[in-house]
Amino acid sequence: MNIFAHNRIMVIGNNGSGKSFLSKQLAALTGLPLVHLDVEYWLPNLTRPPDDWWRQKNIELAAQEKWILDGNFPQGGAMELRWAAADLVIFLDVNRFACLAGVVKRNNNGRPDGPREFRETFDRRFLGMCAAIWRFRRSRKAGYLASREKNPETEFFVIKGRREMHRLLKEWENTKC
């Protein structure tokens, strides 16, 4: 796949799958502006926005000429809006054990791709996220695949693991040179 042929790339997947890492690398390779949806979604004090506000925000984001959108946040039909505007959707279908390891590894560290007060610590919220990671295949993955069927004109690319992700990044970096 020629990653450089796309102007609007959406990166989705389970928590801890490497969406932000891949998105940063793609932005560096392609020069496309990167938008972390964690930053856009959360209101002060990690308050969830109303669905209509989030939908309008996504209309504005998707209308931009070029972007890499990092994250999921399907609330209010927002993912459908982004998907319809994307040239390419990259789905990180990473093993849930690797995803759990990813969130544990970044635990209690500030995240540059999220709000300043967004610190994952071993608390009830963190355990809920771990449970959601574990249930991903049964809960959210089906919705992503349904979105793919609704948008057959949008190129869809699946990356099955971190090793494949790193191999592809090296391949794309060598292609750029």
User: What's the Cα-to-Cα distance from 25 to each of 11, 13, 56, 161, rounded to whole Å?
Assistant: 12, 16, 28, 16
Lowest mean pLDDT among 11-15, 108-112, 165-169: 108-112
Assign domain 3-164 to its CATH superfamily: P-loop containing nucleotide triphosphate hydrolases (3.40.50.300)
Q: What is the pTM of this model?
A: 0.89
Using one digit for the tens of pLDDT, what is the confidence trace for 135-144?
998 888 888 8
Instruction: Find, among 148, 37, 15, the residue nearest to 94 by Cα.
Output: 15
pLDDT digit string (tens) for 20-35?
999 999 999 999 999 9
Orientation angle between helical segments 19-30 and 162-176, nearest 10 degrees: 10
Q: What are phi and psi of 123, to 5 degrees?
A: -140, -175
**What does the mean pLDDT of the chain come to?**
89
Angle between helices 78-85 and 140-150 (to 10 degrees): 40
**Dihedral, CA of residue 71, residue 73, residue 78 and residue 79, to nearest 10:** 50
- CA–CA dist 49, 57 (Å, integer): 10
**In the predicted structure, residue 163 carries a pLDDT above the cut 80:** yes
**Domain chopping of the chain, boundaries:** 3-164
